Structure 1
Amino acid sequence: MQVRTPAVAGMFYAGEKNQLKKSIHDCYLHSFGPKSLPPSSSKKNIIGMICPHAGFMYSGPIACHSVYEISANQYETFIIIGPNHWGIGCNVSSIKECTWETPLGEVIVDSKLADELVNEINFVELDLFSHTKEHSIEVQIPMLQEAFQNAFKILPISLIDQTKKTTVELGKAVAKISKKNKVMIVGSSDFTHYEPNDVAHKQDKALIEPILRLDIDEFYKVLEEKQVSACGYGAIAATMQASKELGATEGKLLKYATSGDITGEKSSVVGYGSIVFS
């Protein structure tokens, strides 16, 4: 059994177990967070969600909104789709026969779903190397571990190729393998990068509108025309497509803020949004 060891523990989030738990709790109770600790009081029929993946001190409070919204439910597997910032390995990659290690313990990769995904579409490759340095999937896992005490599995999918054709096909395949399983689909992405705060808010508002309508064609059109620098746009699109295939009719923006809103440094910010599909 392979082990995927942490790449950004001690940088994007605390590397020690108790400190990490405290920092996650602080994110929930932060003024930009949901202001309550999970689990939530009501179960909701949510199919997929968009969650940011920056350092917890920046995006953690925003990310907590999506996790809190689903925290009354139980899931067998979280399918986590994220961009491959490093551009190493395969264009679209997953892994199997692997445990994913964080300071909160190990999570097993769902090898059965990995095999099913590879059988559905021939461009997904099983390759641990593609995942070794990437943070976009890694930072989601401690948040999920802290919110869900049951022994869930994960299916990580890392994207270098984020073109519309690829992400729509991937979304359809993810939906197909999800139908017989109790899963949650997580699209990992930040929004605008390194623009002034007012520009980021304006750009991201324009991009979020078609996300909430589950309009992938318009999403890619806005992305291109406005040159929005959302890093995980393909992960967003694949999650939108999978959610639509599984019956979602709309998205709901739970919280949007930028790093500048949180830190007060507004000259060059990154945007973060938590969105759920139902």
Structure 2
Amino acid sequence: MTKPARRPPAVAGMFYPSNPSELRTTIDQSFRNRKFGPGMPPPSLTERKIYGMVTPHAGYMYSGAVAANGYYQISSHEFSNAVIVGPNHYGIGSGVATMKGGVWETPLGQVEVNGQWAEGMAKRSGIVDFDDMAHSRDHCLEVQLPFLQYIRDQFTIVPVILMMQDIDTAYDLGKAIADTAAESDDTVLIASSDLTHYEPNESAHKKDSELISTMLELNVPKFYSVLERMDVSACGYGAIASIMVAAKSLGATRGELLKYATSGDVTGDTSAVVGYSSVVFV
């Protein structure tokens, strides 16, 4: 019998603290941050249905408080499974890659991959592959796990990482996710993406504002149109689009912007910033 795949932390000690106590403190401070975060610790009192969300994946010192807004909103949900879709930054492995099983490790413990869910999603899609190697180095999914572990004791994940981020891929993957999620009511859908990269603060705010407006409309064709017309360097645009497709298919009617900020807003260095958004689809 082969041992399940073990995916150790790739960016602990870089994107977030490797010490469990320090990590918990950092996440707690992200929730309590009144300027960029929700300003209070979870759980929230939110009772409305949240079909999906967009969250950033930079180092916690830059984007942790912005990310905390979305995690605060879903902290009242009784989910037991999280589908997390993000961009492949390293070009390793398949174009659309998930895993058949195994565990992901963070300083806060292990999280099991929901292989059955992943196989159901792959059967409904023509493009999803099983490729553990594609997940080996990337930070975009890993940095979401400690936040999930902070708000939920037990849950499984379906990690999906994308090199292919075109609109056809987004529709195929989004539909497969929605059709699989429709079979139960215990799954939260997460798109991991930063927005504009390494432009002046004013430019990032302008470009990202226009892109976010299409997310709030759940308008995928318009989203891709703005991406191209304004040359928005959002790294996980295909992840955002696929979760938009899935959320709308499941019943979401709009997006809601919880918080937007850039690294420049957080650190004060506004010369070359990265944009972060926390959006929920309701």
Query: Matches of residues 91-130 of structure 1 in structure 2 within 5 Å?
Result: 91-130=95-134
Please name the residue that 1:200 is paired with. 204
How many pairs align?
Answer: 277
Conserved? CA contact 2:122–2:176, under 8 Å = no
Which structure 1 residue ranges, 4+ long, deviate > 6 Å from structure 2? none
Correspondence 1:180 to 2:183: yes
Which residue among 145, 149, 156 is the counterpart of 1:153? Answer: 156
Q: Let me know the Cα RMSD of the aligned residues.
A: 0.7
- Indicate the residue corresponding to 2:270 in structure 1: 266
* TM score, norm. by length of structure 1: 0.98
Matched, 1:71 2:71: no
Shift of 1:70: 1.1
Structure-1 separation of matches of 2:264 and 2:174: 32
Corresponding residue SS for 2:142: coil
Amino acid at match of 1:14: P
How far does the alpha carbon of each residue in 1:34-93 deviate from its partner, in whole angstroms, 9 at most, with x for none? Answer: 010000123221000000000000000000000001111111210000000101100000
Work out the CA distance in 2 between the residues paired with 1:152 and 1:272: 26
Counterpart position of 2:238:
234
* Distance across 2 between alignment mates of 1:139 and 1:131: 13
Q: Does 2:15 align with 1:9?
A: no
Q: TM-score, normalised by structure 2?
A: 0.97
Percent identity reads 47
CA distance in 1, matches of 2:44, 2:245: 27
Answer yes or no: is the 8 Å Cα contact 1:79–1:155 preserved in 2: yes
Shift of 1:123: 1.3
Q: What runs of 5+ residues in structure 1 fail to find an aligned partner? A: none
User: Pick from 45, 48, 52: which aligns with 2:49?
Assistant: 45
What residue identity is the alignment partner of 2:26? S
Q: Could you tell me how far 1:117 is from its partner in structure 2? A: 1.2
| 8 Å contact kept, 1:43–1:70 | no
Whole-Å Cα distance in 1 between the matches of residues 219 and 279 of structure 2?
14
* Residue matched to 2:93: 89
Question: What one-letter code is carried by the residue in structure 2 that aligns with 1:26?
Answer: Q
Equivalent residue number for residue 27 of structure 1: 30
Question: How far is the alpha carbon of 1:32 from its aligned partner?
Answer: 1.0
Assess if the C-alpha contact under 8 Å between 2:195 and 2:275 holds in 1.
yes
